[in-house]
Amino acid sequence: LREDVLAAIDVAAGLDALEAVRVHALGKQGSVTAQLKSLGKMTPEQRQDLGPRIHGLREAVTSAIATRKAALEQALLDAQLASETLDMTLPAPAPMAGTVHPVSQVMDELAEIFADLGFAVATGPEIEDDWHNFTALNIPETHPARAMHDTFYFPEGEDGAQKMLLRTHTSPVQIRTMVNGKPPIRIIAPGRTYRSDSDATHTPMFHQVEGLVIDKGITLGHLKWTLETFLKAFFERDDIVLRLRPSYFPFTEPSAEVDVGYSIEKGKRVIGGSEGWMEVLGSGMVHPKVIAACGLDPEEWQGFAFGCGIDRLAMLKYGMDDLRAFFDGDLRWLKHYGFSS
Ligand code: PHE
């Protein structure tokens, strides 16, 4: 029996096979267990003779199993270590890097282009008061333009406090710049704006860039040259054609909506040429009432202003067609349209 069991332990090829051998020998019905049980039925003389041999058998089997088990486990570990070797000479995987959002990219491009024309970047709060967003821009309480702006108002504050709102355009930065600074002024003001509006081309939060020049002897000609120079640099084409259409804004007089010419290339609209016209911005000569509201003498100072949708500029330059995707935070979209920094 001893030889049989020890031989079986030696050839057990894995931990499961070894366990089967163990149960077969040392389990309740096991062959070695049966020997141990037989001791109970023996005469004292027989027991004295066979007892040590049977106990010796159990010990030999138990220790052989333990030895074999350790060997099998070691072999398993060695195999695992061999298969899981790390090659330390391989290059490390590149870490996930974010991208620059097209809106941020366009804002940077605008700041760069206008810096070359001598414009500084100005900012203002997104939570504005009624005076800066409307009244100082010649949009009094009763003006129908207020209704057109679909304004998000904050709940009424304490008695006498001004109504607060989310700015509906970047034009209040014109006011803040004229009130806080001295002409000559040349600024652009990119930033977030808000209107209660939502479809494929409108989101409740969107981006505008405001432009403001206040100096002596400023004319519509300066406005047109500035816009032309800016759009040529932005779209990186010389065949940019502008069309100024008479329009109305309470804070400019005269006012002009500016269309940029596009052409069809490979079935797609691209900026440049003049096969068709696309409206890109609002502009005009700053209204004397606005200049006066900021504490400047309109006889002495004149200027022009313009306001332009940044998201729209990004779509036209980089070819997105749904504005809502800009603000969904979809990593695939950001990877596709984003820029590396
Ligand atoms: N604030 C205007 C708008 O949001 C755009 C504009 C700015 C027009 C400056 C004229 C001058 O529609």
282 CA closest ligand 1 atom index:
8
Tens of pLDDT, residues 83-125: 888 888 888 888 888 899 999 999 999 999 999 999 999 999 9
**Averaged over 28-33, what is the pLDDT?**
91
> Is any ligand 1 atom within 6 A of the Cβ of residue 272?
no
pLDDT, residue 94, reads: 84
> Is any ligand 1 atom within 6 A of the Cβ of residue 169?
yes
Q: Is the pLDDT of residue 179 over 90?
A: yes
Instruction: Give the contacts of 257 (CB within 8 A, at least 6 positions apart).
Output: 244, 245, 247, 279, 281, 282, 283
Tokens of 112: 């760069």
- Strand ranges (DSSP E) for 250-298? 252-265, 268-271, 276-286
pLDDT, residue 319, reads: 87
Q: Is the pLDDT of residue 226 over 80?
A: yes
- Calculated CA dihedral for residues 242, 247, 252, 257, nearest 10 degrees: -30
**Averaged over 5-19, what is the pLDDT?**
90
Residue with tokens 């022009």: 304
Q: What is the DSSP string of 148-179?
A: HTT--BPPP-STTPPPEEE-SSSTHHHHHHHH
> Is any ligand 1 atom within 6 A of the Cβ of residue 114?
no
The CA–CA distances, whole Å, from 194 to 88, 128, 140 equal 53, 11, 20
Q: What is the DSSP string of 173-219?
A: HHHHHHHHS-SSEEEEEEEEEE-S--BTTB-SEEEEEEEEEEESS--
Prediction pTM value: 0.73
> Is any ligand 1 atom within 6 A of the Cβ of residue 167?
no
208 CA closest ligand 1 atom index:
4
- Do 115 and 229 meet the contact criterion of CB atoms below 8 Å apart? no
Which amino acid does the sequence have at 223? L
- The CA 189 to ligand 1 mean position distance, Å, reads 12
> Is any ligand 1 atom within 6 A of the Cβ of residue 307?
yes
ipTM over cut 0.85? yes
Nearest CA to ligand 1 atom 5: 307
Residue with tokens 């000559």: 184
Q: Percentage of residues in the chain with pLDDT exceeding 90?
A: 68
- Of 133, 170, 171, which is best to mutate to test ligand 1, by the most ligand atoms within 8 angstroms of its C-beta? 171
**Residue 253, annotated ligand binder?**
yes
> CA angle, corner 282, sides to 281 and 287, nearest 5?
155
Instruction: Give the contacts of 327 (CB within 8 A, at least 6 positions apart).
Output: 203, 205
> CA angle, corner 102, sides to 97 and 108, nearest 5?
100
Tens of pLDDT, residues 267-318: 888 999 999 999 999 999 999 999 999 999 999 999 999 999 999 999 999 9
pLDDT interval class at 148 (50, 70, 90): low
> Is any ligand 1 atom within 6 A of the Cβ of residue 188?
no
Q: Is the pLDDT of residue 167 over 70?
A: yes
Tens of pLDDT, residues 43-86: 888 888 888 889 989 999 999 999 999 999 999 998 888 888 88
pLDDT, residue 249, reads: 94
- Do 131 and 164 meet the contact criterion of CB atoms below 8 Å apart? no
Looking at every residue in the chain, the average pLDDT score rounds to 92
pLDDT, residue 277, reads: 94
> Is any ligand 1 atom within 6 A of the Cβ of residue 337?
no
Helices (H), the chain: 2-11, 15-26, 31-38, 44-83, 102-116, 130-133, 144-148, 172-180, 220-235, 288-293, 310-318, 331-337
